[in-house]
């Protein structure tokens, strides 16, 4: 069955162009012209991935993300004409998995779509259940609990945590973590990993100001702290 993509942009010409191109690439495409329409479409259609413009009338992309990310962890790629770093960071902080700046090539967008979908769906033959202290991560069920409390993670956050929990004590560089998420061809945005790590700490750490699990390795990147017995 074709993966379903929700395209959200206030410019009809771009929506039509994306719908035509992605349909030719084998995806089923649903479109919406603003965040309000996108909420209705997402709730009805249950898309596998959302391509989301940030600056729209009625309800913009930021507000859509704030609302819908509480309801589902659907992978999201941001479309933005803005070049400011803060706009990209805010989108990532609200749960987006990737971003692409207008203007962009259709081939690049399709490649990003496939990379994010692969990451969200990736089947693994590695150990299904990872445990450290009071964190339990179920790879096959894509579920994480801290103590007895389920924790909702985005696909990127889940994969980052799984990567580091599988090798406690190993320091991963930001580039290596980006490549684990996006593939070796990905031209990474340096702060993407930092934003995902900050979000992840806020969800799993007892005190994210003094991380117990995900440690910063200065000059390198991050590691999952080995748990002392």
pLDDT of residue 61: 87
Structural domains in the chain, CATH included, are: 4-121 (3.40.50.2300), 129-224 (1.10.10.10)
Q: Can you give the pTM of this predicted structure?
A: 0.60
Asked if residues 48 and 4 have their Cβ atoms less than 8 Å apart, the reply is yes
The 10 Å Cβ neighbour count of residue 183 is 13
Per-residue model confidence (pLDDT) at position 229:
45
3-class DSSP assignment, residue 87: helix
Distance CA 54, CA 132 (A): 37
Residue 73, SS3 per DSSP: coil
Report the side by side order of strands in the sheet with 98-101: 28-32, 4-8, 49-53, 76-80, 98-101
pLDDT of residue 175: 83
Given a contact cutoff of 8 angstroms between Cβ atoms, the answer to whether 69 and 43 are in contact is no
Mean pLDDT by groups of 10 residues along the chain of 229 residues? 91 95 95 94 94 87 87 86 68 81 89 87 61 88 91 91 88 84 54 89 92 91 79
């Amino acid at each position: 069955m074709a993966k379903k993509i929700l395209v959200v942009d206030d410019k009809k010409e771009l929506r039509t162009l994306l719908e035509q191109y992605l349909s030719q690439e084998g995806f089923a495409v649903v479109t919406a012209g603003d965040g309000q329409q996108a909420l209705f479409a997402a709730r009805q259609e249950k898309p596998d991935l959302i391509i989301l413009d940030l600056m729209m009338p009625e309800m913009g992309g930021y507000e859509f993300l704030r609302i819908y990310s509480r309801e589902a962890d659907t992978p999201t790629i941001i479309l933005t004409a803005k070049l400011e770093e803060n706009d990209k960071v805010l989108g990532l902080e609200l749960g987006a998995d990737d971003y692409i700046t207008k203007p962009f090539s259709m081939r690049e967008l399709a490649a990003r779509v496939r990379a994010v979908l692969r990451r969200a769906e990736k089947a693994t033959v590695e150990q299904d259940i990872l445990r450290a202290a009071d964190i339990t991560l179920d790879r096959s069920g894509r579920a994480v609990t801290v103590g007895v409390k389920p924790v909702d993670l985005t696909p990127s956050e889940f994969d980052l945590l799984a990567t580091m929990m599988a090798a406690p004590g190993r320091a991963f560089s930001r580039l290596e973590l980006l490549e684990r998420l996006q593939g070796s061809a990905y031209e990474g945005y340096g702060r993407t990993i930092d934003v995902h790590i900050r979000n992840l700490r806020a969800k799993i750490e007892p005190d994210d100001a003094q991380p117990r699990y995900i440690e910063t390795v200065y000059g390198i990147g991050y590691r999952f702290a080995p748990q002392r017995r």
